[in-house]
A and B are shown apart, each in its own frame.
Chain A
Amino acid sequence: MAKVTLEHITKRYEDVTAVDDMNLDLRDGEFVCLVGPSGCGKSTTMEMIAGLTKPTEGEVYIGDRNVTKLPPKDRGVAMVFQNIALFPHMDVYDNISFGLRLRDYDKEEIDRRVDNAADIVQLEGMLDRMPDEMSGGQRQRVAIARAIVREPEVFLMDEPLANLDAKLRVHMRTELQRLHKELDTTIVYVTHDQAEAMTMSDRIAVIDAGELQQIDPPLTCYNSPENLFVAGFIGSPSMNFVDGEVTQNGLETEYFDVALDPGTIDGLSVGQRVTMGIRPEDIYPVAVDEGLQYPTNRIPARTDVMEPMGDEIFVYLLLEGAQEATMGTESRGSGQLLMSVDPDSDIQEDEEVNIVLDRSKVHLFDTTSGEAITHDITTTPVTEGRAERGETGGDA
């Protein structure tokens, strides 16, 4: 149990900078997910915490110790790898006890700890099996047991569930949360799976291009993303973005206008190029917008493809004047919006609809810098929205 601190960590390879001046402060006992697209430096960051990779610049602290120059074995960390990495020539007992045997624990202590760890991950009675006689989920449990048996100060997990099938992944996810509750150890968890990050972590650290974009509790990242990258990365399907320009009476985009008072929002000036973000669930067809406290004007659109998911339907909307284009959930062209509606709504494909946006959920970002300006464009204060805006506005 220890906090983990990264100070100005930079990792440069010959021609690329994998991690650029990263500062992270992970609290004792916290479950933190590092998320980001492939190649963003999240695994490199973890390897530097583990000591498998040496940072070019900066310091790593675990607890109060500066471990920057220590080899992995002296850092008090345990790691679970994406490819599981069990030693294929050893049985489960030898795998789990590998670290303990290296540290010359006596036989009874090793036995006790191995039994205990096997108990936690429910592997009793399998200690004499070889790794190739086990299923993927069992192997992953052995890998986790190998990590917890050493009672490390920090757990590092590098996409431990990535190679498991979907059902097992959900199951292991809950097991890991249970484990975290039981052990109360600091866990650093690398993933590119949003669901894992959202459901398990106390805080999410969003990383892109080797730089930390935001570190906040999952819902804060979701509701108040600090910049365009976080807004687009967190949430599935991702947020809709529409470019526009601020005028005296509101926001003018190529397809529609949204009324707002630029004077009441900090950091917003007339003539500024901004990108408006709106999540699919904050777009409503006019027919069902009655409950909405702050709707925008009606925006005419035409429905295109529908994707019924069971609990909701994703409707692709073409705004008036937009080109019809090939679309996927993650690649929306300009003039296209994704709306999520109730499964029993009677929207049809290729139908004219009027939609409204929830103004209290409209995000504005500066187009050039990508920084968030506001996450609520209602001029009358909405208590919750205000509080969040104040917090993130300072950072941005």
Chain B
Amino acid sequence: MASETSDGPLARWTQGVIEDTEQRNRLYRSLFYVVTLFFLVTTLFPFYWLLVLALTPNSLIRQGNWDLPFLRPQGFNWEAFVEVFQQIPFHLYVFNSFVLALITTVIVLFIASLAGYVFGRLEFPGRGVLMLGILAISYFPPAAFLVPLFEAFTGNVVVLPFVGVELFKPPRLVNTPGAMVLPFSALFLPLSIFILTTFYGQIPEGLEDAARVEGTTRLGALFRVIIPLSAPGVATASVLTFIAVYNEYFFSSIMALSNQPEQWSPLVGGILSYQTQYTTSFNLMAAASVIGVLPVVILVVVAQERIVSGLTAGALKE
């Protein structure tokens, strides 16, 4: 009793939290809300800012008369969302990115499934070395591949260095999806391979054996039993790949020789074409960005449950 009276308010409060369950739960709850609020603000504020910019007429944006501290749209210029499509065929840029992402995801999932099966379920000499190799290559900067790939995709004859012997003439792939899907697939494969290796490795051996005795090949067991049971992992790998390609600009801006939707210029290329030599339509860029986000938002909402369990399952496994 004597010690309690000599304690300060902080010490008393601490003691209360330690001893009183209800007080402790109250603290946990408030901490949860504080942290949640922090993450919500940091993630949602940029999106809110995009909306503000899109709704504010471009002339007012450049004046910069924001009534601080509340950043709210100056005016309500929803026509920007229509103008986006009038100035350039923005939907074609979205379509390009969507198709590139879709093709890449399909290719990556197929190859990574085979690789994940082999790495996750089979014992063979050199497995560790190969895994390490994939890991190492996944850390190479993509820019390092750019020059040789550009050379090859523009259809230049491949020449043996120093000797000058012409080997073969690759097809000219620039301005086609091929020039983008190929490097994207290669770049995003390692991540998917790692995710799927973890997941496929967890499926009990007995299930695969059962499927094989029942009448599938190893490959059949992979597609009929292992992949369906690894749905969270497959969903995670595909969403990560899809979003990464959908956002990609570096490779595609170079492989599409000019910023035209007919040359498979991607979404970001479309957004940037609201910026000309003399004017920059910030409100249109913001509106286009909001529109561009929508397909991914829809995708994530649909796949949300599986992605969350997939990400945490993968994390726990490590």
Contacts and interface: CB of A to CB of B under 8 A. Distances in A.
Answer whether A and B are interacting partners: yes
Interface of A: 47, 50-52, 71-73, 77-79, 81-89, 98-99, 102-103, 146, 150, 156
Interface in B199-238: 204, 206-207, 209-217, 220, 225, 228-229
Given A73-B215, A73-B217, A88 B229 contact: yes
22 contacts: A51-B213, A52-B213, A73-B214, A73-B216, A73-B217, A78-B213, A78-B214, A79-B210, A85-B204, A85-B207, A86-B210, A87-B225, A89-B225, A89-B229, A98-B211, A98-B214, A99-B214, A102-B215, A102-B216, A102-B220, A150-B214, A156-B213
Contact of B209 (A85, A88, A150): A85
Contacts of B206: 81-85
A102 B213 contact: no
Interface SS of chain B: helix, strand, loop or mixed? helix
B209 A52 contact: yes
A87 B213 contact: no
B209 A81 contact: yes
A73 to B, nearest CB: 4
Contact of B212 (A71, A89, A156): A71
Contacts of A77: 213
A78 B210 CA distance: 9
A146 B209 contact: no
B74 to A, nearest CB: 54
B228 A89 contact: yes
A187 to B, nearest CB: 15
Contacts of B211: 87, 98
A87 B215 contact: no
A38 B204 CA distance: 20
Nearest to A156: B213
Contacts of B210: 79, 81, 85-87, 146
Nearest to A84: B206
A78 B213 CA distance: 6
B128 to A, nearest CB: 15
Contacts of A47: 209
A210 B209 CA distance: 22
B211 to A, nearest CB: 7
A144 to B, nearest CB: 12
A50 B215 contact: no
B213 A79 contact: yes
A73 B228 contact: no
A50 B211 CA distance: 12
A81 B220 CA distance: 19
Contacts of B216: 73, 102
Contacts of B207: 85, 87
B225 A71 contact: no
A71 B208 CA distance: 13
Nearest to B220: A102
Contacts of A146: 210, 214
B204 to A, nearest CB: 6
B213 A72 contact: yes
Interface in B164-218: 204, 206-207, 209-217
Contacts of B228: 89
Q: Which 10 A-B pairs have the closest CB atoms?
A: A85-B206, A99-B214, A102-B215, A85-B210, A73-B215, A79-B213, A72-B212, A83-B206, A99-B215, A72-B213
Contacts of B213: 50-52, 72-73, 77-79, 156
Given A50-B209, A82-B206, 20 more contacts: A47-B209, A50-B213, A52-B212, A71-B217, A72-B209, A72-B212, A73-B216, A77-B213, A84-B206, A85-B204, A85-B207, A85-B210, A87-B210, A87-B225, A87-B229, A88-B229, A89-B229, A102-B214, A102-B216, A150-B214
Contacts of B212: 51-52, 71-73
Interface centre among A51, A82, A85, A146 (most CB of B within 10 A): A85
Contacts of B204: 83, 85
B72 to A, nearest CB: 50
Contacts of A52: 209, 212-213
A103 B215 contact: yes
B284 to A, nearest CB: 47
Nearest to A97: B214
B306 to A, nearest CB: 13
Interface centre among B212, B213, B216 (most CB of A within 10 A): B213
Contacts of A87: 207, 210-211, 225, 229
Contacts of A71: 212, 217
A102 B215 CA distance: 6
B277 to A, nearest CB: 57
A81 B213 CA distance: 11
A22 to B, nearest CB: 20
Contacts of A83: 204, 206
B79 to A, nearest CB: 49
B209 A79 contact: yes
A120 B175 CA distance: 64
B226 to A, nearest CB: 10
A39 B181 CA distance: 50
Interface in B270-290: none
Nearest to A52: B209
Interface centre among B214, B228, B229 (most CB of A within 10 A): B214
A98 B215 CA distance: 8
A51 B215 CA distance: 12
